Amino acid sequence: MQKTSLYDKTPRLCIEGVQHVAWRGYEDIAVELTAAVRRHGRQKTILAVDCYEGVREREVLPALINGLAPAAVVRTDDALPDAETIERMLRLHLTDDRVFGILCHYPIESFFDPHKWRRLQEEVRECPEGLVLVYGPGAALLTHPDILVYADMARWEIQQRFRGGELANWCADNRGQDPQLQYKRSFFVNWRVLDRYKKTLLPGLDYLLDTNARDDPRLLTGAALREGWRQAVRRPFRLVPYFDPGVWGGQWMKRVCGLDPDKPNYAWCFDCVPEENSLLFEVDGVTVETPAIDLVFAQPKALLGERVHARFGAEFPIRFDLLDTMGGGNLSLQVHPLTEYIQDAFGMHYTQDESYYILDAEKNASVYLGVKEKTRPAQLISALKQAQKTGRFDAERFVNRLPAKKHDHFLIPGGTIHCSGAGTVVLEISATPYIFTFKLWDWGRLGMDGRPRPVHLGHGAKNIQFDRDTAFVRSQLAGQAGQVASGDGWTEEATGLHEREFIETRRHRFCRTVAHDTGGGVNVLNLVEGEEAVVESPESAFAPFTVHFAETFIVPAQVGAYTVTPVGRSAGREIVTIKAYVRT
């Protein structure tokens, strides 16, 4: 078993070369914003505090009013139509499904009542002098602000607020609703709308307001934030991981990642999902949390590379996460959609192709992958339907169960039936559309909320590829690793992925320095064996960057050449990395 890791749960990026650009606490923030109003030097100053979904208005707005003493306050939410009107507008996007909707492409303007909107604009214009505080989503759109503050929010924190029952979705009166339904509404509607709008604000915002921690806000100048993004894409960095329990969750991550031992389990570690992870910037002794997706929006070409950006736009296409079933149970038996299905049914651009890299495994661990030879589609679907009634399903009658050991790599293109068995720690390397899992059978379990976990046999039956059988799995999806290069103290192996998948993976085993190059595209790596390694620039273009066992890190396309060397407790010993990048 792997010794306890040095795993860093709060990696930070220090913004170099700037100072006096960050403040903490409402009192200091009010002092800085008041000074900014004075520097503006006009009789009437409009300060817009635009907001992402999830910001606690009951905390933030009273604190700003108390600290700034504005002559007038205008809330953009006062221009929203009634909830029934919004529901009618979004009915096709929200669907009747508990998990899946259809991506929304409405602009933010569509969510406001035109008459109420014009009335708010008149209120702002009619205020003769003093400070006018315009607050809420769309604040910068309502007027032409003299000072623009953006109150941003990490999606993982939004989810915690949904689960805690304290938060309603923007444009909905649904506080306390099933968090799964709230998440669905955000994923398919609100986050899409607000992200498109936020992209237009990031280049010109004057301040970022971080309110992720209750009653502990942080303020960062827009100039410093943009400098932080510029510095981030010139060096390797990590996102802030988050961990979540699950009905099949295990005990491995508690020890290796230093997590709360009193929790029942941890099922997931998401440590490279920019859509939901955060970046921590450190400056002036203040730590500011920002959504990692903002970096993708702000620096897409430098981060992703020209070719990857041309193909995916401002989206980060590679996802790394950990699945812990060590001392837990099987994942659900599942399938991911084919490309045309995810496009037609949900409006997504590309599908959730993936792979399982076995980071650790107990004796007799296994992975379920592909249908068995001569499996009849109607027979399998009938048995799965019957299982929903009886609670019994003989998975091994229909699905291949393969032995899994440490460093095995199983490839899972969309349409392949699969699941990881108990007793494994999987490094899931996949494309980023990360909620499109069609559960076919969940071993008769209830979810962590005590409710049946959603099964999507209707979707799944339309996507299972029955030619992904035993022979196909053995020849194309398992045991595909092969050496492609070697040198003094290192070897490089290609481990996949399948030709239907756009991600290429390379494993390096080494006891000395290994040279890498981004090749003009973003690289994502994980130290899958060994205690510690250092990532360096041959030309000293960035400071040495230390990584530890099980940590995922990103090397932006702009970095170019870099090296990885065993250090510390791993110096002189063989260690292993797995690297993923987009094929060109």
> Tens digits of per-residue pLDDT, 298-346?
999 999 999 999 999 999 999 999 999 999 999 999 999 999 999 999 9
SS3 363: coil
CATH of domain 13-232: 3.40.50.300
Band the pLDDT of 4: cuts 50, 70, 90.
Answer: low
Band the pLDDT of 42: cuts 50, 70, 90.
Answer: confident
- Pairing state of beta strands 147-152 and 44-51? parallel
Band the pLDDT of 1: cuts 50, 70, 90.
Answer: very low
pLDDT digits (tens, 9 = 90+) for 351-381: 999 999 999 999 999 999 999 999 999 999 9
Q: Write down the mean pLDDT value for the chain.
A: 96
Angle at 436 between CA 385 and CA 353, to 5 degrees: 110
Residue 2 has pLDDT above 50, yes or no: no
2.60.120.10, 3.30.390.50, 3.30.930.10, 3.30.465.10: CATH of 235-274+316-584: 2.60.120.10
pLDDT digits (tens, 9 = 90+) for 254-265: 999 999 999 999
The predicted structure's pLDDT at residue 447: 77
Q: Where are the domains of the chain?
A: 13-232, 235-274+316-584
Which pTM was predicted?
Answer: 0.96
Spatial CA neighbour of 136 closest among 77, 54, 90: 77
pLDDT digits (tens, 9 = 90+) for 258-290: 999 999 999 999 999 999 999 999 999 999 999
Secondary structure E strands in 389-433: 399-403, 409-412, 418-420, 424-431
Biggest alpha carbon–alpha carbon distance for the chain:
80
Q: How many CA atoms lie within 13 A of 425 on its CB side?
A: 24
Residue 3 has pLDDT above 80, yes or no: no
Spatial CA neighbour of 533 closest among 560, 559, 553: 553
C-alpha to C-alpha distance for 11 and 461, rounded to whole angstroms: 42
Q: Do domains 13-232 and 235-274+316-584 have the same CATH topology?
A: no
Spatial CA neighbour of 136 closest among 225, 178, 197, 189: 197
Residue 291 has pLDDT above 50, yes or no: yes
Report whether 498 contacts 411 (CB < 8 A). yes
C-alpha to C-alpha distance for 162 and 175, rounded to whole angstroms: 8
